[in-house]
Structure 1
Amino acid sequence: MRTVRIENLPNRSQMHELYHGRGSLGANRMKKILVVRIGALGDAIHALPMVNELHRREPESEIYWAAGPSVVSFLKGHSALSGFITVNKGVKGLFNAAKLVRKKFDCAIDTQGLIKSAFIAASSSNMVIGRAWNSVREKPASFFYTEKVEPQKEHIIEQNLELLEPLFPNETKFEIKYDIPIHEHPEWKFLSETPILFNIGGGWWTKLWERENFVQLANRIDKVLGLPVGIVWGPGEEDNAKYIAAHSSAQLAPPTLFRDLAGIFSKARLLVSGETGPLHLAVAVGCRTIALLGPTAGTRNGPYGKEQITIEPQLPCRPCHSRTCADFRCMPMITPDRVFNEIANKLER
Structure 2
Amino acid sequence: MTPPPAAPHPTRVVVLRALGLGDLLAAVPALRALRGALPDASVTLLGPRDVGGLLRDAGLVDAVVAHQGLDPLPEAVHGADLAVNLHGKGPQSHRLLRATRPGRLVGFADVTTGTVGPVWDDTEHERARWCRLVRETFGVSADPDDARISPELPEPLARAAVVVHPGAAAGSRRWPAERWAEVAARMAAHGDVVVTGSPAERTLAREVAAGASLPPESVLAGTTDVRDLAALVASARLVLSSDTGVAHLAPAFGTPSVTLFGPTSPTTWGPPPGRTHRVLWRGDTVGASYQGDPHGALIDPVLGSIEAAEVVAAAEAALAQGMRPPSVGTPQA
CA contact 1:38–1:71 (8 Å) conserved in 2: no
CA 1:327/1:62 → structure 2, altered by over 3 Å: closer, same or farther?
A: closer
Per-residue CA distance 1:208-242 (angstroms, 9 max, x = gap): 0111001111222335xx33322112121101111
Which one of 108, 118, 127 corresponds to residue 94 of structure 2? 118
CA distance in 2, matches of 1:332, 1:151: 28
1:219 aligns with 2:189: no
Name the residue aligned to 2:254: 286
Matched positions, count: 309
1:157 aligns with 2:127: yes
1:348 aligns with 2:320: yes
Q: Which runs of 5+ in 1 are unaligned?
A: 1-16, 134-139
1:82 aligns with 2:59: no
1:16-27 matched pairs, under 5 angstroms: none
1:145 aligns with 2:115: yes
Which one of 13, 23, 26 corresponds to residue 43 of structure 1? 23
CA 1:195/1:248 → structure 2, altered by over 3 Å: closer, same or farther?
A: same
CA distance in 2, matches of 1:87, 1:253: 27
CA contact 1:37–1:117 (8 Å) conserved in 2: no
Aligned amino acid, residue 38 of structure 2: E
Partner of 1:347: helix, strand, or coil?
helix
CA distance in 2, matches of 1:95, 1:290: 38
CA 1:219/1:104 → structure 2, altered by over 3 Å: closer, same or farther?
A: closer
1:185 aligns with 2:155: yes
Aligned amino acid, residue 79 of structure 2: K
Aligned amino acid, residue 133 of structure 2: L
TM-score by length of 1: 0.78
CA distance in 1, matches of 2:47, 2:296: 26
CA contact 2:134–2:142 (8 Å) conserved in 1: no
Which one of 289, 293, 305 corresponds to residue 333 of structure 1? 305
RMSD: 2.9
Which one of 222, 225, 229 corresponds to residue 193 of structure 2? 229
CA distance in 2, matches of 1:215, 1:245: 6
Partner of 2:200: helix, strand, or coil?
coil
1:271 aligns with 2:235: no
- Bigger drift between 309-318 and 72-81 goes to 72-81
Shift of 1:163: 1.0
Shift of 1:24: 5.5
Shift of 1:167: 3.3
Partner of 1:49: helix, strand, or coil?
helix
CA distance in 2, matches of 1:89, 1:53: 24
TM-score by length of 2: 0.81
Which one of 85, 93, 108 corresponds to residue 84 of structure 2? 108
Aligned amino acid, residue 216 of structure 1: E
CA 1:245/1:174 → structure 2, altered by over 3 Å: closer, same or farther?
A: closer
CA 1:83/1:278 → structure 2, altered by over 3 Å: closer, same or farther?
A: same
Name the residue aligned to 2:324: none
Q: Which runs of 5+ in 2 are unaligned?
A: 322-333
1:248 aligns with 2:212: yes
Partner of 1:95: helix, strand, or coil?
coil
CA 1:263/1:327 → structure 2, altered by over 3 Å: closer, same or farther?
A: closer
Partner of 2:227: helix, strand, or coil?
helix
Partner of 1:148: helix, strand, or coil?
coil
CA distance in 1, matches of 2:69, 2:128: 28
1:25-64 matched pairs, under 5 angstroms: 29-64=9-44
Name the residue aligned to 1:201: 167
Aligned amino acid, residue 163 of structure 2: L
Name the residue aligned to 1:313: 282
1:129 aligns with 2:106: yes
CA distance in 1, matches of 2:295, 2:56: 30
Shift of 1:43: 0.6
Partner of 1:272: helix, strand, or coil?
strand
1:297 aligns with 2:297: no
